[in-house]
Amino acid sequence: MIQLDHINNKLNQVLENIDHIVIGKRQVSTLSLVALLAEGHILLEDVPGVGKTMLVKALAKSIDAEFKRIQFTPDLLPSDVTGVSIYSPKDMEFHFRPGPIMSHIVLADEINRTSPKTQSALLEAMAEHHVTTDGITREIPAPFFVMATQNPVDFDGTYHLPEAQLDRFLFKLSMGYPTQEEELQILNGVSTQINLEDVKPVMSIPELVQAQKAVSSIYVDDAIKHYIIEIIRKTRSHPHVSLGISPRGTVSFMKAVQAYALVKGRDYCLPDDVQELASYVCAHRLTLRPDTQYSGLTAGDVMKQIMADTKVPVKR
């Protein structure tokens, strides 16, 4: 029997750990944990210096997970991500040297700065949890979580992420600048703040795997499922959208809602969970019509229209 109280207690400890390192970003921390529980991945789009790397490092240390960082550059090769076989003259055999993708938590830094060929090296790993090198398929350790970052203001020498790759990310998030009070708290805590090296694990890998399995046990009423489906179907018929959300997006949406309910300490989902996650799950998966893009309307604006026009299920 799955002990939801124990799992929820552990998840709260993880969030409190991250709060000591990253000030004022509880919502982003929560959504990162939700994506990890739902076995999804995150695209974090924001300017440098707002704490993206610190966030994912604090998450990795809190669950005692193996962490690797990949700095995506124009000259990065697919083998630099997946690994390579090296010939050993000693025994006259090739030995596989795992790449950084063979880890529990991977930070793919500035993913849009590398070539599409190298970007695609992530696709198999993110979708199938294994990589194929030299014709041999190798499993990635579970759990597996990728947080990719990109800079939204510097596009020189970058490669646009294709729709197929964007669809691999459960959420697209932005951390944003801290408030005045939060920035003052950061300055006041520079000398006393807990260092990343001092962060102690509060959740083990087996406990995390148990929590991931618990996600599927969270109850989703048919009314909630119909609510999710109606939202998804409206993205496919909206006049400003040329390409709506796929069935894979629908499945990811429901799993994210279940994981969010688990983090909130419930064994059932609410319409509020759907409303909270809708934009994070859906906006980056929408392809807007060219005239819509020229008008300045964003995918986030379209999602707000869809949510406003979709009837919320109410228990009678």
Q: For the chain, which ranges sit under pLDDT 70?
A: 1-2, 154-157, 189-194, 316
Predicted structure pTM score: 0.91
Q: What is the 3-state secondary structure (H, E, C) of the chain?
A: CCCHHHHHHHHHHHHHHHHHHCCCCHHHHHHHHHHHHCCCCEEEECCCCCCHHHHHHHHHHHCCCCEEEEECCCCCCHHHHHEEEEEECCCCEEEEEECCCCCCEEEEECHHHCCHHHHCHHHHHHHHCEEEECCEEEECCCCCEEEEEECCCCCCCCCCCCHHHHCCCCEEECCCCCCHHHHHHHHHCCCCCCCHHHCCCCCCHHHHHHHHHHHCCCECCHHHHHHHHHHHHHHHHCCCEEECCCHHHHHHHHHHHHHHHHHCCCCECCHHHHHHHHHHHHHHHCEECHHHHHCCCCHHHHHHHHHHHCCCCCCC
Reported as a single tens digit per residue, the pLDDT across 243-293 is 999 999 999 999 999 999 999 999 999 999 999 999 999 999 999 999 888
Phi, psi of 107 (to 5 degrees): -100, 110
**Topology of the domain comprising 219-315:** Helicase, Ruva Protein; domain 3 (1.10.8)
- pLDDT at residue 184, rounded to an integer: 85
For the chain, which residues make up each domain, given as ranges?
A: 219-315
pLDDT score recorded for residue 1:
47
- What pLDDT shows up at residue 121? 81
- pLDDT (0 to 100) of residue 279: 95
Q: pLDDT tens across 208-238, in order?
A: 999 999 999 999 999 999 999 999 999 999 9
